[in-house]
């Protein structure tokens, strides 16, 4: 089970439903985030059908939730899982995959702000620069726009993200 604080957070933002979280939990593994031999496993890659490029599922791996950093990382990865779940059967687009999790992570930070968490978030942001993969640059460039929207309205959010993708493709041809 996820940490109650994490469940509360998703409930508060209308991003929780029992069926979805059961589905996610069945696909979830846990690792020790502070064990550098295994923490590379943390993530939530989508399973994409190579024949039609549609999202078929995902595999989630989150840290054991021991402190505020591991809670923040878990929120980010669970947001990936929610995103994949809501887009099951739809076309996979690598460019947009980090935006929703990074927005959700930022909202969690705002609501649970401590100096530790704030400097950790700054550190995470600082790892993204012009040499990073496109999905991270895209997420950083569009996160602030999306933060002004209501994240509990997923369909609206999804539409906005699609708009950003079109704009990005025009500008980065
Ligand atoms: Zn991510």
Dihedral (Cα; 7, 12, 16, 18), 10-degree rounding: 70
What pLDDT sits at residue 30?
95
Distance 51 CA to ligand 1 centre (A): 25
Distance 57 CA to ligand 1 centre (A): 16
What pLDDT sits at residue 95?
93
In this structure, the strands spanning 60-63 and 55-58 are unpaired
What pLDDT sits at residue 173?
81
Residue 93, domain extent: 4-171
Residue range 81-104: mean pLDDT, rounded:
95
What pLDDT sits at residue 56?
97
Distance 73 CA to ligand 1 centre (A): 9
- How does 101-130 read in b/e, with b if 16+ C-beta sit within 10 Å? bbbbbbbbbeeeeeeebeebbeebeeebee
C-alpha closest to that of 160 among 108, 77, 103, 109: 103
Distance 85 CA to ligand 1 centre (A): 15
Distance 58 CA to ligand 1 centre (A): 13
Distance 143 CA to ligand 1 centre (A): 13
What pLDDT sits at residue 42?
96
pLDDT in tens, 31-45: 999 999 988 999 999
What pLDDT sits at residue 132?
95
The rounded mean pLDDT for the chain is 94
Distance 76 CA to ligand 1 centre (A): 6
Give pTM, 2 decimals: 0.95
Please report which confidence band the pLDDT of residue 151 belongs to, taking 50, 70 and 90 as the band edges. confident
The count of domains in the chain is 1
**Percent of the chain's residues with pLDDT above 90:** 87
């Amino acid at each position: 089970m996820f940490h109650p604080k994490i469940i509360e957070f998703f409930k508060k933002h209308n991003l929780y439903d029992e069926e979805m979280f059961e589905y996610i939990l069945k696909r979830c593994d846990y690792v020790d985030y502070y064990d550098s031999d295994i923490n590379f496993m943390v993530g939530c890659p989508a399973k994409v059908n190579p024949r039609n490029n549609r999202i078929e599922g995902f595999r989630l791996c989150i840290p054991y939730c021991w402190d505020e950093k591991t809670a923040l990382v878990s929120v980010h990865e669970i947001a990936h899982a929610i995103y994949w779940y809501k887009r099951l059967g739809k076309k996979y687009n690598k460019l947009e995959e980090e935006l929703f999790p990074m927005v959700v992570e930022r909202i969690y930070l705002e609501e649970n702000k401590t100096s530790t968490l704030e400097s950790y978030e700054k550190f995470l942001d600082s790892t993204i620069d012009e040499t990073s993969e496109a999905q991270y640059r895209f997420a950083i460039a569009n996160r602030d726009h999306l933060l002004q929207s209501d994240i509990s309205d997923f369909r609206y959010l999804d539409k906005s993200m699609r708009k950003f993708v079109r704009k990005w493709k025009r500008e980065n041809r």
